[in-house]
Amino acid sequence: MYKLSSELLRGAVVLTATAVSVLSFRLPARSLMMSTASEVSSAAPPSWAILQQQLRSMGRDFEAQKEAIESGDFGAHTDAKVRLFGHRPEDVRVTFYRDTAAWCPYCQKTWLLLEEKRIPFRVEKINMRSYGAKPKEFLEKVPNGLLPAMELDGKLMTDSQRIMVTLENVFDGPEYDPEGYLTLPTIRKDAALMSRAEELLRLERELFSAWCQWCFRPDFGDMNKRNFEEVLGRVDAALGDLPGPFFMGEEMSIVDLVYVSHVERQVSSLLYWKGYQIRSHRGAEDERYPNINVWFDAFETRENGAYMATKSDHFTHVKDIPPQYGPSFFTADFSTEFGQRMIGAIDGGVDRDAAAASKGAIDGKGILGSLLGQLGDGRSAAPTEPEGGVPPDWRLPLPPIAEAPVVVLPPNDPGEAESRMLGAERLIFNHEAVVRFALRGAGEPGRPSYSAPLADPNAVPSDDPTLKQVVDELLRSVAAKMVLGENPEQLSPTLDTAPELGIPAAQCLDYLRSRVGVPRDMIYPAARQFRAHLAWAMEQAAHKAM
């Protein structure tokens, strides 16, 4: 999930190297069945060339999709380097500096405003301090290194709210007043609306403070919880004040954009560390905040797809929040059935005792032990459902996505087969970089280190040629299984002759799996499939050594 090398941070390797579209690769179910296992399967996993040919025969032109995204007129996408909205490249006045891994909530809200107002902009991706060094050229412009940053007509500024207000003021008029978006200049013309907007922005700061007090402070009774619930209750009530799903009524505005990035992170963090559910399906028995659910639904079904292009998943957030805000704290009692189920569903089965001892600082090391059993490092296998323990959301067969911890509305669910394909093509068309990256799981840690536990941009991959061959074959098996939905005849011929490599190979796949990020690498339904298929290969490889 994390950027772990200078090349990866520049988008040169692993799953960020090229672009994938959620829209253009949706094929009818029949097209996915036209090719049979005999066309790509053999005793050994099919080669990468055959897998690429298979995808192309199914009408999936990955390279063309990359070109479309890079052209600037494709749509909101984490890989886009420019967004034109019909303008000429030479007319772009804004350069937007955002974080490479799509972690930063302040970058997200600024990005959303640019998309919603259809302001042409170029993108420069910059590391956050928690996962890598910042380029010298950027620090010369922004000595404190703060993100987001913006250059407008050559003038640089930082601070997301200042940037957003500036963009609203400078890019005014019909061209930047799209249907469904209420601009700040329009709000200012109505004293009542302006007063409401200012009051809501003060409430957002109250909510942020209440979240920090509960999530990033030790529990002393339930005072912090009650305070957060009271403030969030007022937020939910405010969303119900006017007709329409948004704070200012029927149309989205800057107020909604200021709120959404942090509320998204509150949903994930409190579900994981506190067993507290904010976001649920509308009408569900456990629905606490109906207006917030309507609000999220409106964001997630917006026609321009901007929010979904920036939206993360719970696993990404619980890994990226502590490096930014400090360690989070599990609630004093996270042993409830719901709490344990959510912890496992989100992170794949982290060691509960270790997590509690470290006050919630997650290191991701419990996943492999939970899946594979005793590996010589003191971790034991956790049972899978229905016996209790690691839920099936990280293992095959995956349950329906409606049962996943992340709410996925029907318009945003490509379906199981298409989700597999979206994940597979990211692997297949970037296979050399992915194999090299995965080999870090059996290599040496780099120096200097960074505060994000899984970030290691200077890591040294294993140079064992036999292990490299095993990892390559395992990933080809993963790709073949994702494309065809069935097991290859032989997982790894090389592993059959060198079974002692089963554990280090599984560790390499676990290294990769723990670093698949949403939205940076792929959408959540695809990431869910990719992670689970990697878990399948990890388990198969480890058993070879037993």
Helix (H) or strand (E) holding 82: strand 82-83
CB atoms within 10 A of CB 128: 25
What angle in degrees, to the nearest 10, is found between the helix axes of 431-438 and 502-513?
110
- pTM here is 0.86
Phi and psi, residue 43, nearest 5°: -60, -40
Rounded Cα distance, 367 and 364, in Å: 6
Q: Token pair for residue 91?
A: 């007319």
Q: What architecture does CATH give domain 185-316?
A: Up-down Bundle (1.20)
The upper half-sphere exposure of residue 60, i.e. CA atoms within 13 Å in the direction of its Cβ, equals 28
* 71-177 against 185-316: fold identical: no
Strands 94-99, 121-126: pairing kind:
parallel
Q: What architecture does CATH give domain 401-544?
A: Orthogonal Bundle (1.10)
Question: Any idea how long the chain is?
Answer: 546
Kindly indicate whether the domain formed by 71-177 is annotated with CATH number 3.40.30.10. yes
Residues of the chain with pLDDT under 50: 1-42, 350-367, 369-390
SS in 3 state form for 247-268?
Answer: CCECCEEHHHHHHHHHHHHHHH
Helix (DSSP H) and strand (DSSP E) numbers for the chain = 24, 7
pLDDT at 393: 66
Tell me the C-alpha to C-alpha distance, in Å, between residue 72 and each of 78, 81, 111, 181, 393: 12, 7, 14, 22, 35
Phi and psi, residue 417, nearest 5°: -65, -45
Query: Virtual CA dihedral for 32, 33, 36, 40, nearest 10 degrees?
Result: 0
Bridge partners for 151 per DSSP: 95, 156
> b vs e for 170-183, b when ≥16 Cβ sit within 10 Å of the residue's Cβ?
ebeeeebeeeebbb
> b vs e for 490-506, b when ≥16 Cβ sit within 10 Å of the residue's Cβ?
ebbebbeebbebbbbbb
Domain boundaries, the chain: 71-177, 185-316, 401-544
3-state helix, strand, coil in the chain (%, to 5): 50, 5, 40
pLDDT at 480: 97
pLDDT at 53: 95
pLDDT at 382: 34
